[in-house]
Amino acid sequence: MEFNNGLLAGLPRDEAARLYPEIKDLPVDQSVYGQELKLAFRGRAEKALERVFSENDGEAVVALVTHGGMVNQLYGALLHMPLGGRSFFGTSDTGIHLWKIMDSGNYILKANMDAHIKGI
């Protein structure tokens, strides 16, 4: 599930910006306009990864299908990046990210592969 953007949900970007101005540098444990806490969003990503790891052995191949915001949170959780930082992982519509999780470490083999949608 994508980030719950509260009162902005379903609004065109220009209308959302007019009605609910962006508040810069909001702490991760605070929210506005009924939005999900950034801390809670990351927590959902961490919980999803923990579940994948605990329910599968090291030889399993697992596919996760999700939204771009969650892709960013999953990367942040996998790489133990600080929450609220200014690093983002781009993903196109139907982008594919290939990771290899091993006892020796986590590997990002491919990021945002989208050649399968060229020409559509």
Burial class (CB in 10 A: 0-12, 13-18, 19+), 73: buried
In a domain, 88, yes or no: yes
In a domain, 119, yes or no: no
Compute the average pLDDT of residues 73-93.
Answer: 90
Domain that holds residue 36: 6-94
In a domain, 73, yes or no: yes
Q: How many domains does the chain have?
A: 1
Mean of all residue pLDDT scores within the chain: 91
With CA atoms as reference, report the closest residue to 46 among 91, 90, 76. 76
Q: What is the pTM assigned to this prediction?
A: 0.86
Compute the average pLDDT of residues 73-86.
Answer: 91
In a domain, 109, yes or no: no
**Better-predicted residue by pLDDT, 85 or 6:** 6
In a domain, 48, yes or no: yes
In a domain, 99, yes or no: no
Residue 69: per-residue pLDDT: 92
In a domain, 18, yes or no: yes
pLDDT tens track for 21-30: 999 889 999 9
